[in-house]
Copies of this chain bind each other. A is one copy, B any other.
Amino acid sequence: MISIKGLRKVFQAKEDNITAVDRLNLDIKDGEIFGVIGYSGAGKSTFVRLLNRLEEPSEGSIKIGDREITALNKRDLRLARQEIGMIFQHFNLLWSRTVKDNIAFPLEIAGVPKEERERRVLELIQLVGLAGRENAYPSQLSGGQKQRVGIARALANNPKVLLCDEATSALDPETTNAILDLLVDINKKLGLTIILITHEMHVIRKICNQVAVMENGKIVEQGEVLEVFLKPKQSVTKKFVEQVMGSGEDDDLEQLQSTYKGEDIFRLHFVGDSANQALISKIAKQFNVDINILQGKITQTQMGAYGNLIVQINGDEREKDNAVAFITEETSVEVEVIQRAN
């Protein structure tokens, strides 16, 4: 259990101070995969760097397990850090070491014997898909390859807590998926707690249990991923959720409106209620209308389909009204009128 109270970090600047993290309170359960999202500059990196005290907090306390991180002396902090893996936004690889030796580094620090170290390193190289490049130096790697070395390095010592700062943002989807699967796997098998900064909502959706949204150094929204996705309250959150839910970015909508000028277009919000299954075929049967799916995204959640569809409803004016009224009144699907014919 990670427990954060009143955490605050102020950067002294010449002109004015910058409060990168602002009186943050947060509890993260053991074994949880905790996502952190937020705009660029929101304070996400600073937040995770505070967790292992790479950045000294200006105020507040951090407890990981029963260790009060903020109160540890140097030696204890060092030991605590050996159980906290970290993946850096800028990789921070040692250019003087090969891929293999970079990954072995945390093992050397933890005093793992040589044979075991080698075994583990080879295993990790396989896992992150760098076989064949183990003797390359970082300067000879592509961006994504460097990132993967950073990931392998962070995992090498079987940490209890893993801090990931944009761990997959330099990776293609295939590799991203492989890495995420790996993380989930370790999380399940070893109960690894992961705190994961990302701006890719599909990463959050795919592996996180909890998500927190940061804005201006504060957590403005937090909860179960599904809950936050279903009922985003803050406008930041809505913007992020829209990304994964594929709900029309504004210009897409405009395009649709111009393509289907003079026709009825609605957006149906499915809110994860299984009662709404087969809504479209039900409507088609019950009312004399054709429903044309223009665009949208539906995701399956534990509680049923969630997402939204932009549809065009064709048919008799009366029937159309009835159909819409039926959806609005009899189901939990919300109807948003995007464009009416008249």
In the complex the two chains form, is A172's CB within 8 Å of B294's CB?
A: no
Give the shortest distance, in Å, between A204 (CB) and chain B (any CB): 12
Residues of B within 8 A of A39 (CB): 144, 172, 174-175
Most buried by B among A11, A46, A290: A290
CB < 8 Å: which of B15, B246, B300 contacts A255? B300
A172-B38, A280-B280 are contacts. A298–B290 as well, Cβ < 8 Å? no
- The segment from A69-77, A103-111, A134-142, A225-233 that touches chain B is A134-142
In the complex the two chains form, is A170's CB within 8 Å of B169's CB?
A: yes
Give the shortest distance, in Å, between A260 (CB) and chain B (any CB): 9
A37 proximal to B (CB < 8 A) = yes
Residues of B within 8 A of A202 (CB): 243
A328 proximal to B (CB < 8 A) = no
A126 proximal to B (CB < 8 A) = no
Measured CA separation A305–B256 after assembly (Å): 11
A172-B37, A290-B278 are contacts. A142–B45 as well, Cβ < 8 Å? yes
Interface residues of A in 158-209 (CB under 8 A from B): 165-166, 169-177, 181, 199-202, 206
In the complex the two chains form, is A294's CB within 8 Å of B298's CB?
A: yes
Give the shortest distance, in Å, between A232 (CB) and chain B (any CB): 13
In the complex the two chains form, is B300's CB within 8 Å of A11's CB?
A: no
A280-B281, A290-B281, A290-B282 are contacts. A45–B143 as well, Cβ < 8 Å? yes
Residues of B within 8 A of A135 (CB): 14-15
Q: Which residues of A contact B (CB under 8 A)?
A: 11, 13-15, 18, 37-41, 44-46, 89-90, 135-136, 140-145, 147-148, 165-166, 169-177, 181, 199-202, 206, 236, 239-240, 242-243, 246, 249, 251-252, 255-256, 259, 277-278, 280-285, 289-300, 305, 309, 312, 314
Extra inter-chain contacts (20) besides given A41-B145, A278-B293, A278-B314, CB under 8 Å:
A15-B135, A39-B175, A40-B145, A40-B170, A41-B142, A46-B142, A89-B170, A90-B143, A144-B199, A174-B236, A202-B243, A246-B246, A280-B281, A281-B281, A281-B284, A282-B284, A293-B309, A294-B298, A296-B298, A297-B298
